[in-house]
Amino acid sequence: MAWVKEGGHKKLVITGLWTERCMTNTALSALHAGYEVYIITDAAGGGSKETHDMAVARMAQAGAIPLTTAQYLKETQRDWARQETAQNLIAIYEQHGGTYGAGWKYQQTLVAGK
């Protein structure tokens, strides 16, 4: 975490391959070090649903704030009037957002009159 400390960051957004190992150990260490920690729960997985769920509960109990990918992106954007970031976020949703991204593409065709 030296690069985080050197950068002066106070908030961390964490996910990992294994919820109960990579994500939990990192989040608990960061919380212990005084960081505000956000965990992206749908971007990681456990060995089972129970191990994933219990790891998320453990991190939340310790003070981590659980979010989904979509919620994190929407909170980061805050307002669709913020045009300097809106198009990049829409591009992420179109490429990786499943039905939400498909909805964006459809909405754009309606607005554009195509």
Q: Which residues are catalytic?
A: 22
Tokens of 91: 């591009």
**Number of Cα atoms under 13 Å in the Cβ half of residue 6:** 3
Residue whose pair of structure tokens reads 């919820």 in the numeric block:
19
Closest CA to 59 of 29, 89, 80: 29
* C-alpha distance from residue 63 to each of 27, 42, 95 (Å): 9, 18, 32
Residue whose pair of structure tokens reads 């909805």 in the numeric block:
103
